[in-house]
């Protein structure tokens, strides 16, 4: 187990990393739909995103533009938010497609599912417990 003093402030032991085609589109989606805050952004000479870090709630995720060396990899994320219905609607307005409309789940969460414009799947939830 890693000593927590070796983890930078604001990070957790695991940080999601997205490699996508059109990283600018994903960055726009995250900042608009999920109210992400950009922490860091560096670009290649061709202006594509080499590396970006964003904060959503109390979590950080990283992303970059796919290249021949770093091909596209899609991910699934579970995101707790204050209002799953509102965030689901915002995601759709930002170009996401519906996988599951908001509904109350047997495990106690209100949950919806969307696919973002880069193909990643987001399970958006509000705890009802």
- Angstrom CA distances, 47 to 18, 22, 23, 66, 123, stand at 18, 11, 11, 13, 31
Count of structural domains, the chain: 1
Please state the pTM of the whole predicted model. 0.92
Residue 103 inside a domain? The answer is yes
Identify the pLDDT of residue 2: 65
Farthest CA pair distance, the chain: 49
Q: How far is CA 112 from CA 26, 40, 89, 97, 101, in A?
A: 19, 29, 10, 11, 5
> Quick check: is 2 in a domain?
no
Tell me if 7 is assigned to some domain. Answer: no
Which structural domain range is residue 121 located in?
A: 13-127
Residue 121's CATH number: 3.10.180.10
Give the residue, 31 or 10, on which the prediction is more confident.
Answer: 31
Please say whether the beta carbons of 54 and 39 come within 8 A: yes
Per-residue pLDDT of 51-95, as tens digits, reads 999 999 999 999 999 999 999 999 999 999 999 999 999 999 999
Residue 112 lies in a domain: yes
DSSP string, 53-85: EEEETTEEEEEEE--SSS--B--EEEEE-S-HH
Per-residue pLDDT tens digits for 30-40 = 999 999 999 99
- Identify whether 23 is part of a domain: yes
């Amino acid at each position: 187990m890693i000593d927590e003093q070796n983890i930078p402030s604001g990070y957790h032991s695991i940080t999601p990393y997205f490699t996508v085609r059109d990283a600018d589109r994903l960055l726009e989606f995250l900042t608009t739909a999920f109210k992400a805050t950009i922490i860091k952004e560096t670009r290649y000479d061709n202006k594509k995103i080499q590396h970006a870090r964003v904060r959503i709630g109390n979590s950080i995720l990283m992303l970059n533009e796919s290249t021949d060396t770093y091909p596209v990899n899609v991910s699934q994320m579970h995101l707790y938010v204050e209002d799953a219905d509102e965030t689901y609607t915002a995601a759709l307005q930002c170009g996401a497609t519906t996988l599951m409309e908001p509904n109350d789940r047997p495990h106690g969460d209100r949950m919806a599912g969307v696919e973002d414009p880069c193909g990643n799947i987001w399970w958006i939830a509000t705890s009802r417990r």
